[in-house]
Amino acid sequence: MNNKKKWSIIGLIVIIVAVVIAAWPKGNNSKQTTKGTTITIGSKNFSESKIVMQIWTDALKKDGYSVKTKPNISSSVVYQAIKSKQIDLYPEYTGTIAMTYLKGKIVGKSADAIANIARKGMKKQGLTTLNYAPGNDAQGIAIRTSVAKKYGIKTISDLQKKANKIRFASQGEFDKREDGIPGLTKVYGKFNFKSHKVYDPSLKYQILAKGEGDITPASTTEGQLATGKYFALTDNKHFWPAYNLVPLVRNQTLKDNPGIKKVLNKIDRKLTTTELQKLNKKVDVDGQSYQSVAKDWVDKNY
């Protein structure tokens, strides 16, 4: 065989090998292929919303989707942002959708009933609520664990009976809102606290930590509740409605990216109230970034 023919055959073999390698399945790396359209995920301007936004983002990217984020959107405009197509989805709460956006009556209704109100109402807006998470970011009352043990207080009924031993570190609006003291009094009876003082909401856990108060209004997924120093009293008469975490998504986004529904539902099944408390603690108490907390969670759970 002459050299010219030899090198022609070698060249042909090289080309064939290159084509085969290029076409060969990439195994796990095939997830890096972009699916659908670029998805813009937003968040409200507090830790929990940003953490969940980033968890969804990292998981979707891991599955090959192109994702951008828009964090820190004011709670007063985030709903308008998704309706005006500035974002494609964001973490919302069933109670917020049903009561704030749809003006529905949700007091006394079950979590499923509230979620159903939200689902039907959003459908008319060209939006979809996916499966809601078990995590419930509802109104509550946090108590110092040491005080609760001392007086045997586990529920709000217990608190009402032993209110004369308890110092209430309140917030101004909570004393006036129907879902605050006025409503609690109608359901549980009058609370005759040992003392009742109003503080800036941002200082509430500092006041409790200093021993200047024993209880304070709180959201049930706050990170401080995962420290062991405080816990949320059980609302044994179910006064406060559920505010379960739920993905709110544009219908067109789901049409363009149908696979995201499975991803988000898989994640949200794991986001319990306790899990959200732990995630919030890492940011609000331990000082970690929401990005690093989300990445660590996705690495371990998805």
What residues does CATH 3.40.190.120 cover in the chain? 139-232
d(CA 231, CA 165): 18
Please name every residue paired with 65 in a beta bridge, in sequence order, or none if there are none: 35
What does the DSSP assignment read for 185-248? Answer: HHHH-----SEEEE--GGGHHHHHHTTS-SEEEEETT-GGGGSSSEEEPB-TT--SPP-BEEEE
What residues does CATH 3.40.190.10 cover in the chain? 37-136+243-301
Q: 134 and 271 in contact (C-beta within 8 Å)? A: yes
Q: pLDDT-based confidence at 172, cuts 50/70/90?
A: confident
Q: 225 and 142 in contact (C-beta within 8 Å)? A: yes
Quick one: 139-232 is in which CATH superfamily? Answer: Osmoprotection protein (prox); domain 2 (3.40.190.120)
Q: Which amino acid, one-letter code, is at 173?
A: E
Q: Which amino acid, one-letter code, is at 219?
A: S
Q: Which amino acid, one-letter code, is at 285?
A: V
What does the DSSP assignment read for 270-300? Answer: T--HHHHHHHHHHHHTT---HHHHHHHHHHH
d(CA 274, CA 286): 16
The pLDDT tens digits of the residues spanning 223-267 come to 999 999 999 999 999 999 999 999 999 999 999 999 999 999 999
Q: Which amino acid, one-letter code, is at 21?
A: I
Contacts of 50 (CB under 8 A, 6+ apart): 43, 44, 71, 72, 283, 290
Mean pLDDT within 8-16: 47
3-state class (DSSP) for residue 35: strand
Contacts of 211 (CB under 8 A, 6+ apart): none
Q: 60 and 39 in contact (C-beta within 8 Å)? A: yes
Class of domain 37-136+243-301: alpha beta
Nearest Cα neighbor of 118 from 140, 137, 103 is 103
Lowest mean pLDDT among 149-153, 160-164, 176-180, 280-284: 176-180
What pLDDT score was predicted for residue 34?
A: 63
Over the chain, what is the mean pLDDT?
Answer: 91
